[in-house]
Structure 1
Amino acid sequence: MISTVLPLLSNQLFEHAVRSIVIILIGIPITYVVINEFVRRSCRVKGFDGPTNWPLVGNIPDIKYNAAEKYREWSKIFGDVYQIQLGNVPVIVVNSAESARKIFGQNSQALSSRPVFWTFHKVCLMRNANQNKDDRRTFGSWVQVLSNTAGTTIGTSPFNDSLKRRRKGAASALNKPSIATYISHIDVETKDFVKEGFVNGKAGLAGVDPMPMIQRLSLSLSLTLNWGTRMESRDDPMFHEITEVEEAISLFRSTTGNLQDYIPLLRLNPFSAGSVMARDMRRRRDVYLTKLNKDLDDRMEKGTHKPCIQANVIQDKSAALNKEELTSISLTMLSGGLDTITTLVQWSVALLAQRPDIQNKAVEEIGKFYSNEEPLCDAYDDQKCEYIAALVRECLRYYCVLRLALPRATVKDVMYEGKLIPAGSTIYLNAWACNMGKPKLAATGTQKLG
């Protein structure tokens, strides 16, 4: 049959070249779409309903502007836990505190890993010469392009032995006794932030843009806590370099900003701007990480370093961390600090600027607690001023730092209400939807923001 068909196709190609080319140009994309749709549907998690999705792109067009809120709206139709399709990747979305307790609280070990994304991790599978003697299967080794020298953060790393060592090392530097040694750093930075706003705003008589001050606060806190070095001025070139690079890298984790993570066809583009930018950001990040680590090593050798997370991790010999793992912990503290503090403080300042009643109440409560001796809470009061503690928690709830918590990947099967979420599945926790439920009012009567 082949010997008959091939000559016929060959004759058709030469005798009707234009028609053959048109058929090929139309036929190949159609064939790809048909095969890809079969692959997409076969990957879906059985038993979980979800919104209708488009060919190739899935539900990506539906979540272009506010994914967390869209997921929350869908939960009213499909329940607290349902399934979406992002390109070729099926994703289980968890949208309530109760379902989060059941899935995450009861299956912490099974959800200890993170999915590998094409853009952020930028991995390619290379053949490894080492083979397993039992089954002779060729193993692959992951080579990271964005993070191959700097390492991924703890929060974005797939589960392995290295991640366990890094978590152990970070835990030794973040336990209660260690945190107590960092309080003086936090006190200096927060007082500097308040002073800067007071001076630049002429004690409330002049308008001031708080964002540069918030960015300096966030970066200086991250540098001080992790490396024991301050960022005293926004004019420092490193301030602009770190904030620019870390902000760009954080976008690589964006769901809708990196379509090649979910649509394999887009990965064939050899001129991908995202890949070029990822390499450039990696190179620039390596420069300041190397400088920060070297400066700390020099101070530790001279015995002039201040208590900080990186020094505590290095001195914890039981963690047995290599250079890349130490850098990963540094990145975790740097990236996490910049993202979380900046977002929370900017929205909280915006709230207070519009709500003088909350400002006045906060000052009044601080005055009661300290008998009007201090305008600010004491650095070591351990959240004993209840109104301030409640206000901060309410800001954390309403101005959710990560509306969609970093995605998880299951390393074991997970059961939810009789339905199976198989190992290897991707799960999103919609923290925004969980926080927008109906929490109980704080005991102090702090007014909810929404």
Structure 2
Amino acid sequence: MGPQEIVIAAITVAFFLIRWLNQTDIPKIKNLPEIPGVPIFGNLLQLGDEHARKAREWVKQYGDVFQVRLGNRRIVFANSFSSVKYFWINNQSSLISRPTLHTFHTVVSSSQGFTIGTSPWDESCKRRRKAAATALNRPAVQSYMPILDLESTVSIKELLDDSKGGSVDIDPNPYFQRFALNTSLTLNYGIRIDGNIEDKLLKEITYVEREISNFRSTSNNWQDYIPLLRIWPSRNQKAKEFRERRDAYLSHLLDMLKERIAKGTDKPCITGNILKDPEAKLNEAEIKSICLTMVSAGLDTVPGNLIMGIAYLSSPHGQEIQKRAYDEIMKVYPNGDAWERCLVEEKVPYITALVKEVLRFWTVIPICLPRVSTKDIPWKNAVIPAGTTFFMNAYAADYDEEHFKDPFTFNPDRYMDVPDGAGTPHYAYGAGSRMCVGSHLANRELYTAFLRLISAFEIVPAKDRADDPILDCLECNATKTSLTLDPKQFKVGFRVRDQAKLDSWIKGSEERTADL
């Protein structure tokens, strides 16, 4: 073969290689706007490390629903409140499954299996979701309030001690990571980490779960979309490292529970009930999936919302909101018994509205876990075929100016006088058939924590302006490519409103929860 033939052959091979690498799992969808991209990478370079913000910017030019190419995957983005409602709620039976992605599903999850939320839809996922939903429905959540009594009291007491009566500014991150994690551990295993915020196991779980959250991100793992990148082992090695570290503490917790069951010293919990039920229809792998879900989900949303809610309350506008919230609490509970009553009722509408606005404003999962359609779905003049991956841009939907007046303004009043059942208030928990099954628990965690924090403290700015939080819901994220919000460190002051009352409340909670 001469030089000319070699060149022609090389060009031909390169042409077919690029053509093969440039194929997508779903062909271009007719009559649906497409964002122009480049070969092989598609739109990955344009989307950068903030998919939610960039996709929201594209709405002005391409409309609220469009298709993109991420490597060899075709993705449909929904970026408005109404389009998310159309696909995720009106067509929820057609959008019930999840795609599988190389990094999280093949590497990270090869030993413990998938969480409920990341599992493709099948009979096993249906059984696991039903078991979790039963354990986390409204009546069940009410029975868990003693746990929230204990964990919120422990966090507030440590804030009180560590702030030395309000003279020392505090970073609230680790306190409320533990609050959420211990709630999940107690519910699932009947076990809590009975140590301070420097506890080794606490720090290991929160750190590893944060890193694993990055492997579930839509923007952090290009090897999920470009198979050629999988031949480089470094990324897989990191995923394997964190898989092994997670395996260690999950096995440790489950073994502890089994040992306690054998000795008869276990406490009522979700996994214990399953293990002891001779008629339970869940196998070992499915039980591990529920355990995995409870540990990871507990750290996904509640800490970020609590921490950034505290951050906002420390701001000048937050001071006004705090005053209003405190006045509303006192209006409902003039005898000062809000601390106890919040465990059995939710009767301060402004705190409920505050919780909803925190969930909307911070949207701690800007791009929700992807869905994959099981049936064709019509949209205007297009038909989106079964097997297409969908991304909910929850950030864009929760900041949709067509649905929310002044969406970039933090305003709990937007949720006042809106009755329950009036429709989905926000997309912080996703929507439709695969909406977060723990939303009732998360709402009660947030309501209890905010009511008690505002009753106990006046949350004020730190003395040093360098410690002030960033109050933009994307800019405050320390890891922009993470699936969930990872708040940048900041500090605030916690000034006790009434030391004698707070001491009395803490003592009462400690007496009530002594057996937990």
TM-score with structure 2 setting the length: 0.74
**Is 2:179 aligned against 1:217?**
yes
Q: CA deviation at 1:418?
A: 4.2
Deviations 1:201-246 (A, max 9, x none): 2232221111222222222222122212112322322112212221
Which of 226, 249, 252 is the aligned partner of 1:288? 249
Q: 1:429 to 1:30 in 2, by over 3 A?
A: same
Structure 2 residue identity aligned to 1:102:
Y
Uncovered stretches (5+) of structure 2, i.e. residues with no partner: 406-413, 419-470, 473-516
Q: 1:316 to 1:81 in 2, by over 3 A?
A: farther
**Which residues in structure 2 correspond to 1:140-159 (within 5 Å)?**
145-159=107-121
- Give yes or no for contact 2:31–2:381 (8 Å, CA) kept in 1: no
SS at match of 2:83: helix
Residue in structure 2 matched with residue 33 of structure 1 by the alignment: 18
Which of 252, 256, 269 is the aligned partner of 2:215? 252
**Which residues in structure 2 correspond to 1:176-255 (within 5 Å)?**
176-232=138-194, 233-255=196-218
SS at match of 1:320: coil
SS at match of 1:82: strand
Aligned partners of 1:310, 1:439: CA distance in 2, in Å? Answer: 41
Q: CA deviation at 1:328?
A: 0.4
Aligned partners of 1:240, 1:393: CA distance in 2, in Å? Answer: 29
Residue in structure 2 matched with residue 87 of structure 1 by the alignment: 71
**Is 2:415 aligned against 1:442?**
yes
Which of 343, 360, 363 is the aligned partner of 1:400? 363
Aligned partners of 2:145, 2:264: CA distance in 1, in Å? Answer: 21
Q: 1:381 to 1:444 in 2, by over 3 A?
A: farther
**Is 2:22 aligned against 1:46?**
no
**Is 2:135 aligned against 1:173?**
yes
Which of 59, 62, 67 is the aligned partner of 1:75? 59
SS at match of 2:383: strand
Q: 1:317 to 1:171 in 2, by over 3 A?
A: farther
Residue in structure 1 matched with residue 46 of structure 2 by the alignment: 62
Aligned partners of 2:337, 2:166: CA distance in 1, in Å? Answer: 19
Q: CA deviation at 1:397?
A: 0.5
Structure 1 residue identity aligned to 2:159:
G
Aligned partners of 1:164, 1:200: CA distance in 2, in Å? Answer: 45
Structure 1 residue identity aligned to 2:341:
D
Residue in structure 2 matched with residue 412 of structure 1 by the alignment: 375
Deviations 1:143-200 (A, max 9, x none): xx42222111011011122111111211221223322221110111112112222221
Residue in structure 2 matched with residue 359 of structure 1 by the alignment: 322
Q: CA deviation at 1:346?
A: 1.6
TM-score with structure 1 setting the length: 0.84
- Give yes or no for contact 2:67–2:74 (8 Å, CA) kept in 1: yes
Q: CA deviation at 1:443?
A: 2.5
Q: CA deviation at 1:67?
A: 1.1
Q: 1:363 to 1:41 in 2, by over 3 A?
A: closer
SS at match of 2:415: coil
Q: 1:325 to 1:164 in 2, by over 3 A?
A: same
SS at match of 1:420: strand
**Is 2:200 aligned against 1:264?**
no
Structure 1 residue identity aligned to 2:35:
P
**Is 2:292 aligned against 1:309?**
no
Aligned partners of 1:42, 1:221: CA distance in 2, in Å? Answer: 42
Aligned partners of 1:328, 1:98: CA distance in 2, in Å? Answer: 33
Residue in structure 1 matched with residue 394 of structure 2 by the alignment: 431
Residue in structure 1 matched with residue 122 of structure 2 by the alignment: 160
Q: 1:75 to 1:315 in 2, by over 3 A?
A: farther
Query: 1 or 2 for the larger relative contact order (CA 8 Å, sep ≥6)?
Result: 2
Residue in structure 2 matched with residue 278 of structure 1 by the alignment: 239
- Give yes or no for contact 1:166–1:321 (8 Å, CA) kept in 2: yes
- Give yes or no for contact 1:111–1:410 (8 Å, CA) kept in 2: yes
Q: 1:116 to 1:41 in 2, by over 3 A?
A: closer
Q: 1:401 to 1:377 in 2, by over 3 A?
A: farther
Structure 2 residue identity aligned to 1:320:
K
Structure 2 residue identity aligned to 1:165:
R
Aligned partners of 1:155, 1:46: CA distance in 2, in Å? Answer: 30
Q: CA deviation at 1:305?
A: 2.7
**Is 2:272 aligned against 1:338?**
no
Residue in structure 2 matched with residue 125 of structure 1 by the alignment: none
CA RMSD of aligned residues (A): 2.4
Q: CA deviation at 1:113?
A: 0.8
Larger radius of gyration: 1
Aligned partners of 2:186, 2:323: CA distance in 1, in Å? Answer: 31
- Give yes or no for contact 2:218–2:367 (8 Å, CA) kept in 1: no
Identity %: 40
Q: 1:373 to 1:35 in 2, by over 3 A?
A: closer
Aligned partners of 1:433, 1:224: CA distance in 2, in Å? Answer: 35
SS at match of 2:212: helix
Residue in structure 2 matched with residue 388 of structure 1 by the alignment: 351
